[in-house]
Structure 1
């Protein structure tokens, strides 16, 4: 019998048992923790070209509303994010002319209270409600058209392409748009704040013509009265001279 083999065999068995014990003693890898709440601002900041939109989301507090609703709603939400170039292409003073309430409504118009994938937008029933629609489905809606991978959105005042999804996973979809979505109800023919017509001046041309006409109509009578007064004065003077002649 080989003594070397008898010596090595127990050693190998002992080494295997030690390795097994050491492996089982190692702690298991921790399970991944739950994902944090969805933050719209963080998604836009990662995109890198939405400074103006982020600013408007903050000052109108629409961003906070979206974060709360998207983390608690089963319907999800869809956001259409205009780029900084989209805001720069607006006519100067466009945003400054809006009241605080109108600015809020404009930003709410870029948010739909339901999750839509690009495929959903191709087959959706128009118009699609936005957060600006409130309970009335007939106003402040968006209309979507297109085919294949191209989707266009129309407000009734502007139309642009929906592209580059920053996020397309329930419960939130965020799409890039190259134009600010200006609602027709606010910027079209039927504006929220129409300019009131200037009041007519009391000294307008119509009034002057009317006064002139009245003066012109009254002038013949004035002339007639003046002539009658002159004739009466001449008759009286004639009688006075006639009486003086007989006296002297």
Structure 2
């Protein structure tokens, strides 16, 4: 009887020893790897903002800038910063401003609103101006340190950088209430102050001379007529004298 109990006890201990490792593993499983984050939906951010329909249309229908931005977000380690004009900003543009631009210039205008680096609002205050855009034209930023009050200037347009629609590396999207117009595309040419062409002056001079009196050529012709008259008179007098003598 005692031997049977000993065998049973030994069997129970063996089973417990076999189960112990599996229980230990079950109690402390390894932490699962974090799920990789998906690509940033740039147009989705604009659409969620609710007042960027014109910008979305320009970036997706008129041009392919939205696709370019999303492709760059997936390949760039520097990130991007986008300034998004509202629908009212586009509506306040002078009539025909966008329609007068070729597709290439529309692309340049849109890329002028994109910086090839991720910037927080505070970091925009301390940047070295001008900051190069994706259109290779510069923007200037001013503001007060340790605040989120930032102004942006294109040279033709000044406005405040307002609400942050999205601010997480690799993308920052900020609302602006004016379309940033680069001087390189929209600055009117200054009127020319150059003097009239020399040919025009020459013609005016000739007409002035003609109005004042005869030219040297006209004077020569007049002198020749007078000489012919005197010659005729002399010949006539000589003929009369000869006739009298005869």
Q: With structure 2 as the length reference, what TM-score do the two structures score?
A: 0.71
User: Cα gap change, 1:246/1:129 in structure 2, threshold over 3 Å: closer, same or farther?
Assistant: closer
Q: Establish whether residue 36 from structure 1 lines up as the match of residue 38 from structure 2.
A: yes
Matched length: 207
Partner of 1:60: 63
Partner of 2:140: 143
**Over aligned residue pairs, what C-alpha RMSD do you find?**
3.1
Q: Distance in 1 between matches of 2:132 and 2:209?
A: 61
Unaligned runs of 5+ in 1: 1-30, 134-139
The one-character-per-residue Cα deviations of 1:20-61 (angstroms, maximum 9, x if unpaired) are: xxxxxxxxxxx9965432121121111121122112212221
Residue among 95, 107, 111 paired with 1:104? 107
Q: Distance in 1 between matches of 2:215 and 2:102?
A: 56
What pairs with 1:16-165 in structure 2 (closer than 5 Å)? 34-58=36-60, 59-133=62-136, 140-147=137-144, 148-165=147-164
Partner of 1:212: 207
Stretch moving more, 211-220 or 97-106: 211-220
1:187 to partner: Cα distance: 2.9
What secondary structure, in the 3-state scheme, does the structure 2 residue paired with 1:173 have?
strand
Q: Distance in 1 between matches of 2:37 and 2:193?
A: 57
Partner of 2:14: none
Q: Distance in 1 between matches of 2:122 and 2:217?
A: 86
Q: Establish whether residue 239 from structure 1 lines up as the match of residue 235 from structure 2.
A: yes
Q: Establish whether residue 226 from structure 1 lines up as the match of residue 219 from structure 2.
A: no
User: Cα gap change, 1:108/1:246 in structure 2, threshold over 3 Å: closer, same or farther?
Assistant: same
What secondary structure, in the 3-state scheme, does the structure 1 residue paired with 2:215 have?
helix
The one-character-per-residue Cα deviations of 1:107-134 (angstroms, maximum 9, x if unpaired) are: 111011111111222222322221112x
User: Cα gap change, 1:235/1:73 in structure 2, threshold over 3 Å: closer, same or farther?
Assistant: closer
What secondary structure, in the 3-state scheme, does the structure 2 residue paired with 1:81 have?
strand
Q: Distance in 2 between matches of 1:219 and 1:178?
A: 70
Q: Distance in 2 between matches of 1:124 and 1:109?
A: 17
Unaligned runs of 5+ in 2: 1-32
Partner of 2:19: none
1:83 to partner: Cα distance: 0.6
Q: Distance in 2 between matches of 1:201 and 1:95?
A: 37
User: Cα gap change, 1:165/1:236 in structure 2, threshold over 3 Å: closer, same or farther?
Assistant: same
Q: Distance in 2 between matches of 1:152 and 1:68?
A: 28
1:227 to partner: Cα distance: 4.2
What secondary structure, in the 3-state scheme, does the structure 1 residue paired with 2:164 have?
strand
